[in-house]
Amino acid sequence: MTTLLIDGRPASEEDLHYLATVNYGAYTSFRLEDGGVRGLALHLARLEASSREVFGAAVGEGRLREILRAALSERDAAWVRLSLFSPDIRPRMPSSIGVPKVMTTVSPPPPPLAESLRLQVQTYGREVPHIKHTANMGLIRARRLAQTDGFDDALFADADGVISEGSSWNVGFVAGDTVVWPQAPMLAGVAQTLIARGVSAVGLGERTEPVRVADLTQFDAAFICNSATPACPVTGIDDHAYHGQPALMERLRHAWAANPVEPI
C-alpha cells in the first residue's frame, strides 16, 4: 500500500488539485532499509539546496527528518519520495517566495530497474539539470522513444556528442580498474556519489572527465546507477556492445554498500 501525506497530514483536495495541474517542484527519492537510508544526508542536503533555488527558502533538515519519521512510522523497508511544492506559485503568479510544503509518498521497495540495459544515445539535456525537479515529460518521452526503437532506455548527449546522464540515472564507464564519470551538466546522483566514495574499498579508482560518444570504444564496461539500482550493466550503446562483467558489477555494488545506512 502507498501512503501520501503533506506536511505530515492527509492531503487536502486543494493540494491534490494543485499537484495535478501545476508541475513546479523538486524532489528526491530513496530506499529505506533496516530503518535507515544510505546517503540520507546527501539526499536532504541536495533537496535543501533545490528548495532555496526553486522556492527561495529551505524547509530545514530537522523538519524534513521529522516529517520523514512521521510518514514512515514503524516501517523498516520502503521506497520514499520527498517532494516540495508551493500552492502560492502558479503559472500566472510565479514570484512567491517562501517555505514549500513537503509531500511524502511511501510505497513498497521496487526491484532494480533492470538486470542489463541497451541504451540509445539521444541529443537531449534536462532543463536546469543540477536540480531533481518534477518536470519529467522529456525524460519519459526519451525512454518511450528508445523503447519504440528497440532499446531499453535513453542516454543523453549534447550536440557535440558529450555524454551527460540517462533518463533517471547516472552512467559510469570503466577503463581497466578505474571508473570514469562523465563531466557535463547533469544531476549529481546520490548513488553515484556513494559508489565514488566506496571504490577504493573494492580496489578501484575513479575520475571525472568529458566522455564523448566517439570515446565509447575506449572503455571495457559501462553501467548505470540510481537509488533503486546501485549498479546495472550496460550491454550496448547504439551499435557498440559491452560485456556484462558480473564480477565488476558486484564490486560496484559492494562499493555502494560500503556506505553505512544512516538513521533518520
pTM summary value: 0.96
pLDDT of residue 36: 96
Q: How is domain 3-107 classified at the architecture level of CATH?
A: 2-Layer Sandwich (3.30)
Same fold, 3-107 and 117-259: no
- d(C-alpha 166, C-alpha 182), whole Å: 11
Place of cell 536540480: 131
Nearest to 64 by CA among 250, 259, 264: 264
- Taking residue 1's Cβ as centre, other Cβ atoms within 10 Å add up to 5
**Is pLDDT at 16 greater than 90 in this prediction?**
yes
Average pLDDT over residues 43-69: 98
- d(C-alpha 40, C-alpha 89), whole Å: 28
Average pLDDT over residues 25-51: 98
- Tell me the average pLDDT of the chain: 97
Fold of 117-259: D-amino Acid Aminotransferase; Chain A, domain 2 (3.20.10)
What is the band of 74 on the pLDDT scale with cuts at 50, 70, 90?
confident
Place of cell 539546496: 49
pLDDT of residue 205: 97
C-alpha cell at 227: 537509488
**Is pLDDT at 153 greater than 90 in this prediction?**
yes
Average pLDDT over residues 226-250: 96
Residue 206: its H or E element? strand 205-209
- d(C-alpha 99, C-alpha 103), whole Å: 13
**Is pLDDT at 65 greater than 90 in this prediction?**
yes
pLDDT of residue 1: 82
pLDDT of residue 40: 98
Could you state, in order of their start, the residue ranges of all structural domains in the chain?
A: 3-107, 117-259
- d(C-alpha 127, C-alpha 36), whole Å: 31
**Is pLDDT at 211 greater than 90 in this prediction?**
yes
**Is pLDDT at 50 greater than 90 in this prediction?**
yes
Which amino acid would we find at residue 65? R
Average pLDDT over residues 194-204: 97
Question: By three-state DSSP, how is residue 198 classified?
Answer: helix
Average pLDDT over residues 231-239: 98
pLDDT of residue 244: 82
Q: What is the pLDDT of residues 243-262, one digit of tens each?
A: 989 999 999 999 999 999 99
Nearest to 174 by CA among 215, 120, 146, 214: 215
